[in-house]
Amino acid sequence: MNKLDTSNSNNYEYITKHLEIHILGGIKTNKLESLRITLSIQKLKQENILRHTLDLYNDNQVEKFVRKVAERLEIGTSIVRRTLQEVTKELENYRFLLLQEYEEANKPFIKELSATEEKEAITFLKRKDLLTKTNEFIGKSGVIGERTNRLLMYLIFTSRKTNNPLHCISLGSSGVGKTHLQSKVSELIPEEDKVEITVLSANAFYYFNRTELQHKLILIEDLDGAESVLYPLRELQSKKRIIKTVVHKDARGNTKTIHLTVEGPVSVAGCTTQESIYEDNSNRSFLLYIDESQEQDSRIMNYQRLISAGKINEDQEHKSRELLKDVQRVLKPIKVINPFAEYLELPQSVFKPRRTNSHYLQFIEAITFYKQYQREQQVNEETGEVFIETTIEDIKQANELIIEVLLRKSDTINGATRNYLESLKKHLTVEKESTFTALEIRKKLKVKKTTQWRYHQQLMDNYYIKKVKIKGENLNRYEVTNPNEYKELEEAISKSLQECIIKINRSNVPKCSTIKVEQITKTKTAS
């Protein structure tokens, strides 16, 4: 039998007893309804060559070409027609092979855990000091400093597997490591569970398969480069689905209206320097402010030096990453019930308390979900639904981690201005000064004049600083109105959260009618 030679991807060959055919430029795999090719055809050992472009699925074109070849090359039409039919069949089969190879190459990688890997991951999840150990392994994987932020981010990413995922936005100045933190923590999430976006059009978002994004982590390197997708992302976050209506022509040419639906839920993470611009997105997210202290600078630069000197144990980092990824793989979807939820009240100082309250409760559920191998599975006798319950310990750990988030949510100034004010207070305390000039602080904190002017404008508008006059001086001096205001706010939030725990301890929380899963299994076995 004659075979199609595809060894040269730009020049396929098909040679029979009578004819020699070359398909130039290969074939396209994106339009299965046509088979358009450019070919050259000639009789064996002759120089008379006919070149032509045609669609092998278009019968009229093929018939005209058959007659043209027969006339030009002086050969029977039946031979030409049979040869073109054979070539068409060979090209069809080869195109299906190419499509199959493409699908295999682009099939999402899903790692099958070995019995040993699964056992190790489950043993890890059963540890009593699970959150502490998790944070330790995140550090061993190569995430330097940011102890609270990195654990918060990991738990937020874990919540993608629940029905109410959390979202986060990393905020900080340019070059402080926002993207680095997000990318390093996202390395601890299995590849099959995340979608990384650099640039994506809003329309492209609606052409994912219906369930392709379900329970996925969507990572946006820079929110400034993804403005077009922020609206559909917000809809996915709030409504857990997006729907677009488009006009479509069917095979008969009739115009119809169809609905493109992409299902959630999803967990979304992004980075930006511009907090105020993305207020709609930040309202739906945990705001994680990057540590810009000199101590963190020292830790990162020391790590960079150790890498350059070849003194970092890369094998240990790899093993830590793989273990935490395996931990993610063994977590199973299960409902979480918080029997203490009605006793959990946020401080009155928190802005937009409705949404923040929802985030607070979801974060507690995320911790319980992460500890699912330490909880007994129960079944609601009325609905038959399997669930696990939140404990007081989960709430205490959530309170410790979330206090900084609540503190920022209670602040009347944005994060960058708050960081400037706290650095300013620290400088005044060290220097034992009560007043300062803009120039003095600008030099000490290395802040641009225009940036400092914006900070001062916001601080004066909210009465955090005020202008003061000193006799004999023509300089503008400023004074911090209440150096302890942030500490007082933190203490008020801590006290409020602690009061919730006291209320829970005093209460006798009723439980719904439940039965343990093990009891059901034993009953079925006995019967």
pLDDT beyond 50 at 527 = no
pLDDT beyond 60 at 448 = yes
Cβ of 14: how many Cβ atoms within 10 Å?
22
Among the ranges given (145-154, 239-248, 260-269), the one the predictor scored with the smallest mean pLDDT: 239-248
Query: Whole-angstrom Cα distance, residue 185 to residue 389?
Result: 27
The DSSP annotation for 509-521 comes to ----SEEEHHHHH
Question: Which of the listed ranges 47-61, 164-178, 208-222, 342-356 does the model predict with the highest average pLDDT?
Answer: 47-61
pLDDT, residue 515, reads: 57
Tens of pLDDT, residues 28-68: 888 888 899 999 999 987 888 999 999 999 999 999 999 99
Closest C-alpha among 381, 348, 393 to residue 128: 393
- Return the bridge partners of 70, or none: none
Q: Which residues lie below 8 Å from residue 248, measured CB to CB, with a gap of 6+?
A: 255, 256, 257, 258
* Percent of the chain clearing pLDDT 70 (strictly above): 93
Q: Length of the chain, please?
A: 527
Q: Is 103 helix (H, G, I), strand (E, B) or coil?
A: helix
In this predicted model, which residue has the larger pLDDT, 277 or 151?
151
pLDDT beyond 70 at 86 = yes
Tokens representing residue 318 in the block: 């790899």
Q: Is 244 helix (H, G, I), strand (E, B) or coil?
A: strand
The DSSP annotation for 450-493 comes to HHHHHHHHHHHHTTSEEEE--TT--S-EEEES-TTHHHHHHHHH
Pairing between β-strand 386-389 and β-strand 335-337 as defined by DSSP bridges:
parallel
Q: Is 43 helix (H, G, I), strand (E, B) or coil?
A: strand
392-409 vs 147-158: helix crossing angle, rounded to 10: 110
Query: Whole-angstrom Cα distance, residue 101 to residue 97?
Result: 6
| C-beta separation of 335 from 385 below 8 A | yes
Tokens representing residue 9 in the block: 């991807």
pLDDT beyond 90 at 384 = no
At 279, the pLDDT band (50, 70, 90 cuts) reads: low
Tens of pLDDT, residues 285-343: 888 888 888 888 888 899 989 989 988 888 999 999 999 999 999 999 999 999 999 99
- Amino acid identity of residue 362, one-letter, is Q
| C-beta separation of 289 from 172 below 8 A | yes
Tokens representing residue 83 in the block: 């040869």
Residue 502 per-residue DSSP state: H
| C-beta separation of 333 from 161 below 8 A | yes
Mean of pLDDT over the chain? 87
| C-beta separation of 150 from 185 below 8 A | yes
Pairing between β-strand 465-468 and β-strand 514-516 as defined by DSSP bridges:
unpaired
Q: Tokens 């609540």 appear where?
A: 406
Closest C-alpha among 449, 450, 459 to residue 486: 459
Mean pLDDT of 114-131: 95
Query: Whole-angstrom Cα distance, residue 480 to residue 457?
Result: 13
| C-beta separation of 211 from 263 below 8 A | yes
Distance of CA 166 to the CA centre of its chain: 11
Q: Tokens 């329970």 appear where?
A: 215
pLDDT, residue 522, reads: 52
- Return the bridge partners of 205, or none: none
| C-beta separation of 326 from 117 below 8 A | yes
pLDDT, residue 136, reads: 95
Phi, psi dihedrals of residue 221, rounded to the nearest 5°: -60, -45
Mean pLDDT of 89-118: 87
pLDDT, residue 255, reads: 83
Mean pLDDT of 208-218: 88
Q: What is the pTM of this model?
A: 0.78
Tens of pLDDT, residues 347-368: 777 777 777 888 899 999 999 9
The DSSP annotation for 174-227 comes to TTSSHHHHHHHHHTTS-GGGEEEESS--HHHHTTS-TTTTTTEEEEES-GGGGG
pLDDT, residue 132, reads: 95
Q: Is 88 helix (H, G, I), strand (E, B) or coil?
A: helix
Q: Is 478 helix (H, G, I), strand (E, B) or coil?
A: strand
Mean pLDDT of 133-161: 94
Mean pLDDT of 162-185: 87
Query: Whole-angstrom Cα distance, residue 38 to residue 484?
Result: 78
Query: Whole-angstrom Cα distance, residue 139 to residue 146?
Result: 9
Query: Whole-angstrom Cα distance, residue 420 to residue 456?
Result: 10
Q: Map out the domains of the chain as residue ranges.
A: 4-106, 115-333, 338-527
What CATH number does the domain located at 115-333 have?
3.40.50.300
Torsion of CA 350, 353, 357, 359, to 10 degrees: -80
Using omega within 30 degrees of 0 as the cis cutoff, is the peptide bond preceding 265 cis?
Answer: yes
pLDDT, residue 32, reads: 84
- Return the bridge partners of 53, or none: 38
Tens of pLDDT, residues 474-515: 778 899 999 999 998 888 888 888 988 998 888 776 555 455
Same topology for domains 115-333 and 338-527, yes or no? no
pLDDT beyond 60 at 433 = yes
Burial of 71 (0-12, 13-18, 19+ CB in 10 A): exposed
Among the ranges given (126-135, 279-288, 318-327, 411-420), the one the predictor scored with the smallest mean pLDDT: 279-288
What CATH number does the domain located at 338-527 have?
1.10.10.10
Pairing between β-strand 465-468 and β-strand 435-437 as defined by DSSP bridges:
unpaired
Query: Whole-angstrom Cα distance, residue 496 to residue 479?
Result: 30
Among the ranges given (84-93, 189-198, 397-406, 503-512), the one the predictor scored with the smallest mean pLDDT: 503-512
pLDDT, residue 353, reads: 77
Closest C-alpha among 107, 113, 112, 327 to residue 212: 107
At 229, the pLDDT band (50, 70, 90 cuts) reads: confident
